Amino acid sequence: MKQKEISLSTRHKHDNGHMNGRSHNHSNYETPLRPDAFALSDEEKIKKIQHHFAEIMSTLGLDLSDDSLRDTPERVAKMYVNEVFSGLNPENKPKAALFDNRYKYDQMLVEKNMTFYSNCEHHFVPIFGKAHVAYISTGKVIGLSKLNRIVQYFAKRPQVQERMTVQIAKELQRVLKTEDVAVLIDANHLCVSSRGVQDHHSATVTSFYGGKFQEQSIRSEFLNYIQFETNK
């Protein structure tokens, strides 16, 4: 198993689950957006990004008249708006319907190994890995695919892994109407492996434990289900 770079600021949660350790300009867990973030339509954003990305490519000395490069600015612009950063738009937030827990299942439900792709907000290069989430029902349950969709929604934006972990957890608590939620994310950062120190072996782990998951026995049960070894 590859070496884990454990984010100690998120290894344990206390009180109401707010993070300690690294600080950012924004004191809460919301993605920093300008008030006019949605003043432009998606089509208008694509046009502007296309123009500016063409300028970047031209500045780098690339020949945009080449058949292979001619349509790259438009492709990148559409990819940014419609795909990899689509989670910035609240209209794309998953609609999560709840169902009565008629079968009286009162143990934790774990959805593990959800693959996600995000992008580091510092260098705009990929973050990718696995997300594991769990909750204990207080009377309502959610469709399994919705857990995955919530993870993907928050991944599809420029991100910091710590913030993404808290965003997913807080949304699950809100939707499920319970504090008993756990989230663990194990990810690789290309800003570490493809540039800078170029470390190809480390990975970053962040976690959130709310409600009953702050109890050691419940937390250990969750970690056992996902077979995560914190001493590796």
Task: State the catalytic residues.
Answer: 120-123, 161, 189, 191
Cα–Cα distance for residue pair 219/147, rounded to 1 Å: 19
Instruction: Sort residue 97 into left (φ over 0), alpha (ψ -120 to 50) or beta.
Output: beta
Question: What one-character-per-residue DSSP string does 57-126 give?
Answer: HHHTT--TTSTTTTTHHHHHHHHIIIIITGGGSGGGS----EEE-TT---SEEEEEEEEEEEEETTT--E
Cα–Cα distance for residue pair 135/103, rounded to 1 Å: 16
Three-state DSSP class for residue 129: strand
Cα–Cα distance for residue pair 100/137, rounded to 1 Å: 10
Backbone angles phi, psi at 220, to 5 degrees: -65, -35
According to DSSP, residue 133 is labeled E
Q: For residue 24, what is the enclosing H or E element?
A: none
- Cα dihedral 214, 5, 169, 160 sign: positive
133's tokens? 């989430």
